[in-house]
Chains A and B, each alone.
Chain A
Amino acid sequence: MKVKRGDFLKGRIFSIEEFSIFDGDGIRTTVFLKGCPLRCAWCHSPEGQKFEMEYLRSPNGCLSCGACLAAGGGRLTAASVDACPRNLVRAAGEDVEPEQLYRRLSRHFDMLNHAGGGVTFSGGEPLAQPEFLYECLCLLRGRTNRGLQTSGYATNAIFSRILGECDLLLFDLKLIDEATHKRYTGVSSEPILDNYHTAAASGKRLLTRIPLIPGVTDTEENVTAICRVMQESNVAYAELLPYNRLAGSKYPLAGRVYDPPFNTEQVPAVRQEIFAAHGIQTKIL
């Protein structure tokens, strides 16, 4: 997706997080790009899914005065942000040119670089705005470490082009079986696995991240399959992200209901021994 305003290329982001601790090496700033082709059942960023602008309303402290809806003609709009007397409505989505984003990020290059960090692009799915992402990565080349946190879902051509401009990849491996992958994420796993092998073969720094969703991705069968994929690519390190029941907490903000098709109360299985048996070191985040 690319947002055009006049002749200038713009991308749509929904957040910039400074000092993001678990998004790569050192001190990092993470830019979250809006829009994602996947619909993972455990997604914790509902505001990152749609490409369209959205407005989020925090229910806590809401006076139910209706000022936000009145200002927006019955729905939340940009006018609702100003109308809320308690500042509870905010926009999820901002269109920025790569140069604008670069200027914002560049204020902290000195700090980021000195502390062994850099900038990470996340989402949503950053690969879903490939031109914007590519421009941003090119602007950052030689200025700071460039990370990409991705589901890996894109054509191999797009992925390879972007990969060429990255220094660090945080690549999610969720489900290997094609049917299960489709069922829980809405898309095929084929391009993802293809791109994973491309990433591993590139020699770029690769952090494989595995969300452990109870009864979905944490099964012995899936974990073993992930290990095989990693072995095939000669990757020997993975970071495990056990499911946390707070994953649904932002849904009410976006006016949506979080109702995943798995038991959210179940503690996910952390099968480090399977990874170990495949010669893969793991760390739990």
Chain B
Amino acid sequence: MTELVQSFLDYFRTRAYRKERRTLPPITFDAVKDRYQYFPYVFSRICEEEVPVLRHPGDEFGFNRTVHVQFAGNGCMNNHTPDYAWALSNGFEEILADLARRADGADEEGKAFYRAATDSIHTLLTFCECYRAEAERAGCDKLARALATVPRKPATTYYEALLFMKLLIFAHRASGVSHLTLGRFDQYMYPYYLASQKAGITEDALLEETELFFISINMDTDIYTGVQQGDNGQSLVLGGCTPECEDVFNELSEMILTASEELCLIDPKINLRVSAKTPLERYVRATRLTAKGLGFPQYCNDDIVIPGLVSLGYAYEDACNYAVAACWEFIVPAVAYDIPNIRTMNFPLVVRKATMECLEGCDTFEDFFSAVKHHILAYFDERRVATSQYEWSKRFHPNPFGSLFLTDCREKGRDAFAFVTKYKNFGIHGLGVGPAVDALMAICRTVYEEKSISKAELLAALENDFRDAEPLRRRLLACPKLGSGDEECEKLMVRMLHFYAGAVNHTPNGVGGIWRAGTGGSQDYVTMSRDVGATADGRHAGEPYPSSFSPSIGVRAAGLLSVIEAFTRPDMKTLINGGPLTIELHTNVFRNEEGIRKVALLVAEFIRRGGHELQLNALHRDTLIEAQKHPEQYPDLIVRVWGWSGYFCELDLPFQNQIISRTDYQL
């Protein structure tokens, strides 16, 4: 990286500028005349209070926040994948003219929508002018020159497009959009990249611009809305294919991987679209990024996602254009306002309820499995009906500015929550597949096959959280688990997920779309497991589930190949709301080219076998320290010691400490 980038990165890491931010009191809904005006009003208040400031020579983009405001009351637009290409290629002057034309022929609600959207754009343009003046005063000629045209006019160079993006991110965030994703960044930015290249800008200069931009979009992540810091949806997608199956991974995609690898920042989080045709070298390249311990790239399998979306009713061309919203949910930019994380199927809870309520009366395991299916259906129906009773206009403020970036909203003069977009589907996460299947397996094995535990014994033990029933709990723990290479377990998972997908997919959602089934779980693996009593896999009441689509915590998996074998077995095309298999590897695995190449081979195998989504973590120091404190939760944490691999928790303490200090060097 250049000296300028390094210096800006060092400045960013001090985070000193964040302490200078002022916090405004919450801006209430009462302050505005009509509901469409809430976010335009908030946005204008923020822009009034904001002070244009360029604190470092590397800050070539500005638009960093100097004030922070809590949004009051209702929910915000979220999981938004805007049509950036539309704004970049038109500029706001043309957009304003277009909105004026549309407002002329619109109904009252449409007029209110266009008026509010227009107000927001004027606010933004005024604020951009303040920034231009500040850039001029501060001697930031590059920024001042660019702001003389952008964003009123279309971007013409890569730098102008990056600047345009920065102020769009600023405007969306300041106008109340949470989980704003960057979509297919390497595709819509590519024409501008090529234009700059053609104008003689060197690769090094383009990389520097990319890196300065990436640092710049990390500046305000601490005030972005999310469950945990960093949970802000600021992810982008690289690669993929055209409807003609042409691979579109390009030089810019490559440059973004380089920038991310050099900077090691949390944003942008990178998703890489791959398929069975992806060359191994690309996996090797991406694995070098994984080795940095950032937890990305996340791999998305075009061979599964595209047909999966098509089977849910997405047009083939739209499916080919998919991006990733928030964490792992597949979404189509510009034409979809899907809410892919509106509900969660709590599988272990469902299996527990079926056990407590129905096990006694089930003579065979098949009877019991039918009861589980019944409970899956009932649990989904309860959530589906509750969601259908939402009064959207009361739950969410309209966001006319953000909605402009959805084609149908823009053309029809309606907010995103009016659900006028081509796709408006709801997604349900599938939480705790691992422990749920393990519980089913344990019941099948101990109660029905071996008859080693009676129904009454099991029910009493679950009721009392295994108090005075430790031997029984150990028998449950000893049953085969998902990921331990057991065929029967895997078949049970396939059956359970097949039923779940059939029950969920295509069910109307009450707003003109359908429901989609997924295998994710966001923060729910902690929050939604807290109140769930003991389960038949041997899990105590309140113990957390594994995150996403993974073996249960504490299960000693047979190995990575068995885990991949198991978790690629269901028909993942039917579980296309997303939710990755998550695998954690010690950083030592990546210590040389051979290790990196073999991890790349493993990823390629996962994709070839039909997995839909994969997230690899190179474990770092904090995890190892946690593992020291709670070894029982990390039995599978593998470390490469010397010419051999061992389980971290089985190493003597001084050796563990040595590895921890060594890991620091490796990171």
Contacts and interface: CB of A to CB of B under 8 A. Distances in A.
Contacts of A17: 559, 645
B605 A44 contact: no
Nearest to B600: A115
B474 interface: yes
A255 B485 CA distance: 30
A89 B139 CA distance: 68
Interface string B653-667: 101101100000000
B598 A19 contact: yes
A65 interface: no
B643 interface: yes
Interface in A106-152: 107-108, 111-112, 114-117
A115 B602 contact: yes
Contacts of A29: 559, 561
A248 B641 CA distance: 10
Contacts of A243: 642
A60 B649 contact: yes
Given A16-B559, A18-B559, A26-B601, A249 B655 contact: yes
B485 A104 contact: yes
B561 A44 contact: no
A253 B650 contact: yes
Contacts of A241: 642-643
Given A61-B649, A85-B470, A249 B561 contact: no
Contacts of B485: 104, 107
Contacts of A58: 631, 649-650
A108 B644 contact: no
A18 B560 contact: yes
Contacts of B594: 21-22, 285
Contact of A246 (B478, B589, B641): B641
Contacts of A117: 601
Given A16-B559, A27-B561, A211-B643, A61 B604 contact: no
B626 to A, nearest CB: 13
Contacts of A278: none
B643 A250 contact: no
Contacts of B478: 82
Q: Label chain A's interface by main secondary structure.
A: loop
A82 B592 CA distance: 39
Interface string A79-107: 00010011100000000000000001001
Contacts, number: 119
B564 interface: yes
A59 B651 CA distance: 8
A33 interface: no
A115 B589 CA distance: 17
Interface in B556-595: 558-562, 564-565, 589, 592, 594-595
Contacts of A251: 652
A276 interface: no
Contacts of B646: 249-250
A21 B595 contact: yes
Contacts of A16: 558-559
Given A21-B595, A22-B643, A115-B605, A108 B565 contact: yes
A154 interface: no
Given A87-B635, A115-B601, A60 B650 contact: yes
B628 interface: yes
Interface string A27-49: 10100000000000000110000
* Most chain A beta-carbon neighbours within 10 Å: one of B470, B592, B645, B659: B645
A247 interface: yes
A44 B643 contact: yes
B122 interface: no
Interface of A: 16-22, 26-27, 29, 44-45, 56, 58-61, 82, 85-87, 104, 107-108, 111-112, 114-117, 211, 241-253, 284-285
15 contacts: A16-B559, A18-B560, A21-B598, A27-B601, A27-B602, A59-B652, A60-B650, A60-B651, A82-B478, A115-B601, A115-B604, A117-B601, A244-B642, A246-B641, A252-B652
**8 closest A-B pairs (Cβ-Cβ)?**
A18-B559, A244-B642, A249-B655, A19-B560, A18-B561, A246-B641, A61-B631, A249-B651
